[in-house]
Amino acid sequence: MTSHDVRINVIPKSEAQTVIAAWNREDSYCEMNSIARDLNQKARPYPYLASSEGSAATMNVRTSVPVDGPLNLVYLDGRSDSGLPHTRGLKGIALPVFLLWNPRPDTLQHEIVHLSQKQYSEKWWNVYRGKWGFEVASAEQFMSIPEKWRKRRRINPDTLGNPYVVWKGRYIPLSVFVSDMSPDLKACKRGFWDLKMEQWTWEPPSGWVEAFGSGFNDEHPNEIAAHWIDGSASSEKKAFFNGLIV
């Protein structure tokens, strides 16, 4: 198995807001320029703030995917983004502060995979196309999805750039808020827009579960791949990417 070493700088509270501001300029995640902006901002009522805990540190991490460092890690207030780990820009990792006290190596590996996907997008898409049958959705394809569903899409900072994908030339998977009255980042459900039938369905299309399992938040190949590589899917799936992304 190919391995890579990357340095991660843990950003102290005194510098964290400056780093967050740079992330905002880089990826515009907090501005959410999308038809789904209103619901997504409503689902994030707590400000995006660094935690007051933690101090400057440096760690070296070995990973199985190529990634260019050094990476910057900011621990957020546990209520920011509902405490969900995520990546920012090309080299930023945001983790809820409770992971400072109870580290989870698999979570850190998961986020490193997402940064590799952003930095080496074409390498990953070569695999997604050739091995899994995914393509980036065209504007015509994703605009065919009714506005109702596009407005309810949960914006994922780990899939910015190409959030709409097509599987087998027919199905566009989306993770959407269960409620459009009280949207909750942790209360979402995956559904599919069928380009051929021009209809929405909650049922996975034929072959999906056999290929990818039934993880309800795996609506994008970036998420599927990260779960496979971090080991949360299965040991067999963890080995799938060995030698594919170098």
Q: For the segment 62-119, what is each residue's pLDDT rounded down to a tens digit?
A: 999 999 999 999 999 999 999 999 999 999 999 999 999 999 999 999 999 999 999 9
Is the pLDDT at 230 greater than 90? The verdict is yes
Predicted TM-score (pTM) of the model is 0.97
Handedness of CA 175, 73, 22, 50 (dihedral sign): positive
Q: Could you tell me which residues come within 8 angstroms of residue 227 by beta carbon, excluding any fewer than 6 positions away?
A: 110, 215, 218, 233
Q: Determine contact, residues 124/229, Cβ cutoff 8 Å.
A: no
A 10 A CB-CB count for 126 gives 13
Residue range 151-203, pLDDT digits in tens:
999 999 999 999 999 999 999 999 999 999 999 999 999 999 999 999 999 99
Is the pLDDT at 1 greater than 70? The verdict is no
In this prediction, residues 45-57 reach a mean pLDDT of 94
Is the pLDDT at 129 greater than 80? The verdict is yes
